Amino acid sequence: MRAWKIEAGVSVAGGVVSRSGDKDFVDPILALRANYSPAPRWSAIAHIDHGVTGMGSDSTTQVVATLNYQITDRAYVSAGYRRLDVDCRSGGTRVDATMAGPPLGLTWRF
């Protein structure tokens, strides 16, 4: 499941005309994930998921790929690429957005 809370606003002519709105919805998703370890402290993870269409949004897809390095028994550092797309049209609201870029992460297992 992926829960969305989208808030947006626009102001024109120095605030003379403004409009805002929000939209909340939940997408059930199906996902595949693969983990590969090419060397003792290194791993690569690939993840893709897609929303079940027509339940929350019209379409949502996420793709993530990371390269991970184990610093200690409990700490990992990660870098990669992520792209998240959503298209929702409901009740006069339309959201068609893409967010993409490099994630950097530090994981501590306990």
Residue 22 lies in a domain: no
Residue 16 lies in a domain: no
Q: What's residue 79's pLDDT?
A: 98
Residue 20 lies in a domain: no
Residue 8 lies in a domain: no
Q: How many CB atoms lie within 10 A of CB 7?
A: 9
Residues 68/76, Cβ–Cβ less than 8 Å:
yes
Candidates 100, 104, 36, 46; CA nearest to 76 is 104
Q: What's residue 84's pLDDT?
A: 97
Digits of tens for pLDDT over the chain (110 positions)? Answer: 999 998 888 888 877 888 888 888 899 999 999 999 999 999 999 999 999 877 788 899 999 999 999 999 999 999 999 999 999 888 777 889 999 999 999 999 99
Residue 41 lies in a domain: yes
Would you give the distance in Å from CA 25 to the centre of its chain? 15
Residue 18 lies in a domain: no
Instruction: State the residue range of the domain holding 89.
Output: 27-105
Residue 11 lies in a domain: no
Based on the structure, what is the number of domains in the chain?
A: 1
Residue 37 lies in a domain: yes
